[in-house]
Each structure stands twice: as structure tokens, then as C-alpha cells.
């Protein structure tokens, strides 16, 4: 049975009820899953408190030194601790990690056609053996996507980090967990979508807003070597939702 690599976004993590329900659902999964998380609006709040000002390039957060400090505080501190506490309370044996710990994830500086993103990294290597060892011990790794690059620490998009981790594990399925059951076409849940279908649905406005980065992240994960990618909610963890497939 494939290991699930679950990616949880920052918006969902702002809801204590969601976090508690997530922890209960994850504690019941076998084999143990891997959790990769974002940070959401808390990063911007801490950045402002440190005297910084959030900036965006083509909708992506520009990470200067203050923004990186804020991301480290939120991802490796506030959010990681919140998730590990909830999972432990639900009966799971959880361990918080970042991509820095034991060199779990190495990155290079990310390039973007719209301009420089600052200290943002693109995953190039994952120590899958470390994760396999933890999973074999029944431990749930909770991973913050702060990672090591050529000039120290870098912030990494959590979607990309989840795809890279699932690809490195080889027998894993990456699941992008949100608050909707999957991709809706009209009022109907699409059980399966290809890249061509996704492009058409974005063009005609069926897929819009926050679902666009999720489907694109799923396609990026497939390109990274992941065998399977899904978008679903907590109720669909065991196999529901929309499966994103190769052409």
C-alpha cells in the first residue's frame, strides 16, 4: 500500500477544529503518512511584526531576510508545534522536522520568469532514507519546508516540497488536502483529470481561484516522478477526491 504524503495549506491550519480533525484522521491511517505543511497568513503577520513588508512577484511571496526569519519562526515553530501537539494528543507518534534537519531536503535558488523571488528554493534532493526509517518505526514525520541551499536556509513552496518528497519515496501518493471534496465540474466531483483537461477547465473558468495552484501543484508532482496525485478533503483521505493523472 502506498505511503500518503499529505500537504496541508496555511489557510486550513488557521482553523483549530480542522487541525484537530486532521490529527484524528492521520492517527488512524496505516501505513503512517508524511505531513508537509505551509504557514499561511501567520508568516505575513510575523513579518510585519519584525518590521518587514510582504511583497509578491506574480502572486508568489518574495522572501527577503526578514520574510525568511518570519517563515522559519512560523513553519518550524508555531505551525510545526501545533501539528505535532494535535497529532500526539490524537495518539500518533509525531516528530516535527524541517528540510534543514539532517539535510533532509536540499534546494537550489528558484528562478521565475517574472523576476527574482529572493530566498526561495527549488528542491533538488531529498534524503528519503531518513523518512523511511521514521515510517518503519511508526513515526509520523511533520515537515516544515525550510531547507538548505547554496547560501544557507531557503523557504520552499510547500506544494513543491510535498511533490519532491513523494517522488523521492517512489511508492508514495501525494494528497493535497483542502476543505472541498476535490475538483468540481459544475456540481459534480471529477474523479479523474489529465493535464489537458485541467488546462481546458482553467481556460473556461470552471477551475478558478485557490484551486488553480492545487491542480498545478499536482501536475508538478507527477512531473517529479510521483506515481499518483489527488486533491480531496479529510473525508476523502482513504481514496476519495479527484485523481490527477498523466496523459
Instruction: Report the 3 state secondary structure along the chain.
Output: CCEEEEEECHHHHCCHHHHHHHHHHHHCCCCCCEEEECCCHHHHHHHHHCCCCCCEECCEECECHHHHHHHHHHHHHHHHHHHHHHHHHCCCEEEEEECCHHHCEEEEECCCCCCCCECEEEEEEECHHHHHHHHHCCEEEEEECEEEECCEEEEECHHHHHHHHHHHHCCEEEEEECCCCCCEECCEECCEEEHHHHHHHHHCCCCCCCHHHHHHHHHHHHHCCCCEEEEECHHHCCCCCEEEECC
Which cell numbers in the block locate residue 106? 536540499
Q: Which pLDDT score is estimated for 118?
A: 93
Distances (CA, A) of 130 to 137, 220, 222: 11, 23, 22
Q: What is the pLDDT of residue 220?
A: 82
CATH number for the domain spanning 187: value is 3.40.1160.10
Spans of the chain below 70 pLDDT? none
- Residue whose C-alpha is closest to residue 165's, from 215, 120, 131: 131
> Cα–Cα distance between 52 and 134 in angstroms, integer?
37
Which of 167, 146, 175 lies closest to 38, judged by CA? Answer: 146
| Cell triple for 11 | 489557510
* pLDDT score recorded for residue 161: 93
* CA–CA distance, 195 with 234 (Å, rounded to integer): 24
Domain that holds residue 143: 3-245
Look at residue 159 in the predicted model and tell me its pLDDT: 87
Instruction: Please tell me the predicted confidence (pLDDT) of residue 88.
Output: 97
* Count of domains for the chain: 1
- Res 58: pLDDT: 79
pLDDT of residue 162: 92
**pLDDT value at position 112?**
86
Q: What integer pLDDT is reported at residue 72 of this predicted model?
A: 97
Amino acid at each position: 500500500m502506498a505511503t500518503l504524503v499529505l500537504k496541508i495549506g496555511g489557510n486550513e491550519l488557521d482553523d483549530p477544529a480542522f487541525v484537530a480533525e486532521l490529527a484524528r484522521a492521520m492517527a488512524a491511517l496505516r501505513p503512517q503518512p508524511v505531513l508537509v505543511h505551509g504557514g499561511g497568513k501567520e508568516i505575513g503577520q510575523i513579518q510585519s511584526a519584525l518590521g518587514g513588508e510582504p511583497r509578491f512577484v506574480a502572486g508568489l511571496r518574495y522572501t527577503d531576510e526578514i520574510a525568511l526569519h518570519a517563515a522559519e519562526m512560523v513553519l518550524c515553530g508555531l505551525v510545526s508545534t501545533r501539528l505535532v501537539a494535535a497529532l500526539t494528543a490524537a495518539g500518533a507518534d509525531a516528530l516535527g522536522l524541517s528540510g534543514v534537519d539532517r539535510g533532509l531536503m536540499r534546494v537550489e535558488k528558484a528562478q521565475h520568469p517574472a523576476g527574482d523571488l529572493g530566498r526561495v528554493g527549488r528542491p533538488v534532493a531529498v534524503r528519503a532514507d531518513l523518512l523511511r526509517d521514521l515510517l518503519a518505526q511508526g513515526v509520523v514525520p511533520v515537515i516544515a519546508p525550510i531547507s538548505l541551499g547554496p547560501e544557507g536556509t531557503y523557504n520552499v513552496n510547500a506544494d513543491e516540497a510535498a511533490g519532491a518528497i513523494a517522488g523521492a519515496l517512489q511508492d508514495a501518493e501525494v494528497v493535497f488536502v483542502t476543505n472541498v471534496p476535490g475538483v468540481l465540474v459544475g456540481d459534480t466531483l471529477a474523479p479523474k483529470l489529465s493535464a489537458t483537461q485541467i488546462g481546458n477547465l482553467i481556460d473556461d473558468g470552471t477551475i478558478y481561484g485557490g484551486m488553480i495552484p492545487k491542480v498545478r501543484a499536482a501536475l508538478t508532482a507527477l512531473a517529479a516522478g510521483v506515481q499518483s496525485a489527488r486533491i480531496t478533503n479529510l473525508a476523502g483521505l482513504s481514496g476519495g477526491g479527484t485523481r490527477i493523472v498523466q496523459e
